Structure 1
Amino acid sequence: MTAASSEAEVLDMIPIAAAVITSGTAAEPAGFTGSVWGEPRNPGWLAVPVSAESSTLPIAEATGRVGVNVLGAHGRPLVAAFTKRVERSAQRFCGVEWTFRDGVPVLNDGIAWFACALDAVVPFGTYRMMMCRIEHSEIRSRHSPLVWVNGRGVPAGEPTTEALR
């Protein structure tokens, strides 16, 4: 018999795709490490949870644009860069290669990316769910995506037993 687990412990066991969510302008980009859920319809949709206190949220609301950069197994340094606390979100882009395409910052090291119109922001506990309509998407490589499980980045397709400990 096992001991009871907290909801947080159980939720940490659900693998989620690691992504860098971006917005802003070419002169003042913004971004954070996050996750995303997709609905492949015509048009496609992405749901992106963001902390209600995120500095990127008001920028996305002002521009009406959201970029989603899917990270590959080699993307752990990007997770760290876009998770760190900074005075201005644009500081997270220092030392990161990126371009501005279709109205969003696009990371050169992502394995895929989406440019989206922000259609709605919905309350979701202490978060907000950004409802994003996909306007452009591109696969850059077929490498394994990076998934987040139990607080650690693990390449998809590799055993996650170690990450679950």
Structure 2
Amino acid sequence: MSTITDTSAAQPLAIDAHRDSRAFRDALGRYPTGVAIVAATTSRGPVGLAVNSFASVSLDPPLISFCAMLTSASWLDIREIGGFAVSVLQLHHEPVARRFTQRGIDRFATSTWTSSPSGHPVLEDSLSWFDATVETVADAGDHEMVIARVRACSPAGDGSPLVFFSGRYGNLA
């Protein structure tokens, strides 16, 4: 038998998104997420971004999703190509995740990468990877929500996932 606790006495925080986005971010930050790298090969070389919005959408057909900021130059390049690879990060990949949030550096320089069947960068020792093509892009405020069809995937490695929670990287322990 399950028990439901009455939380009506808790004082909810009313949010005016135009005045108090910090409270909204803090509330969202209490939901732990995995961390992944979305990357593609362009005519100018590899591009990529770190995301914590990666999710499964459907098993049949095989669909995944992530959200990208409208201001992301890497996302604009990936969107133009129409395909990408996702590398799910392990706990020891925190420096990789941090690198992929920085601008003006070679994000791929300090890690070993292989190629997905479509030729997109895959982090060599990722927990898993997905090779996908964009199916749908939807307006989502200051982001775009991307739904993509998986063309190939692999549970590439063993280890603990890198988790993002309350503004910090960590693990499941």
Q: Distance in 2 between matches of 1:107 and 1:138?
A: 12
Write the deviation string for residues 103-152 of structure 1: whole angstroms up to 9, x where unpaired.
Answer: 21111131111000111211111001111111111112231211110111
Of 20, 24, 27, which aligns to 1:7?
24
Write the deviation string for residues 63-98 of structure 1: whole angstroms up to 9, x where unpaired.
Answer: 2112111001111011111111116xxx21112210
Of 103, 112, 120, which aligns to 1:85?
103
Q: Distance in 2 between matches of 1:39 and 1:18?
A: 17
Q: Distance in 1 between matches of 2:94 and 2:11?
A: 32
Of 145, 148, 157, which aligns to 2:164?
148
The code of the aligned residue for 2:96 comes to L
Question: Does 1:42 find its partner at 2:60?
Answer: yes
* Count of aligned pairs between the two proteins: 154
CA RMSD of aligned residues (A): 2.0
Q: State the Cα distance separating 1:54 from its structure 2 match.
A: 0.7
The code of the aligned residue for 1:32 comes to L
Quick one: percent identity of the two aligned structures? 24
Q: Distance in 2 between matches of 1:137 and 1:94?
A: 24
Check the 8 A contact 1:66/1:132 in 2, yes or no: no
Of 107, 111, 119, which aligns to 1:96?
111
Check the 8 A contact 2:48/2:75 in 1, yes or no: no
Q: Distance in 1 between matches of 2:12 and 2:116?
A: 50
Q: Distance in 2 between matches of 1:146 and 1:86?
A: 24
The code of the aligned residue for 1:101 comes to S
Q: TM (normalized to structure 2)?
A: 0.81
Of 29, 32, 36, which aligns to 1:19?
36
Unaligned stretches of 5+ residues in structure 2? 1-9, 15-22
Partner-residue secondary structure (3-state), 1:60: helix
Q: TM (normalized to structure 1)?
A: 0.85
Check the 8 A contact 1:72/1:145 in 2, yes or no: yes
Bigger radius of gyration? 2
Question: Does 1:108 find its partner at 2:124?
Answer: yes
- Do the aligned partners of residues 50 and 92 (structure 1) sit closer, same or farther apart at CA in structure 2, a change above 3 Å counting? same
Over 4 Å off, 4+ runs:
1-5
- Do the aligned partners of residues 101 and 25 (structure 1) sit closer, same or farther apart at CA in structure 2, a change above 3 Å counting? farther
Partner-residue secondary structure (3-state), 1:92: coil
Unaligned stretches of 5+ residues in structure 1? 159-165
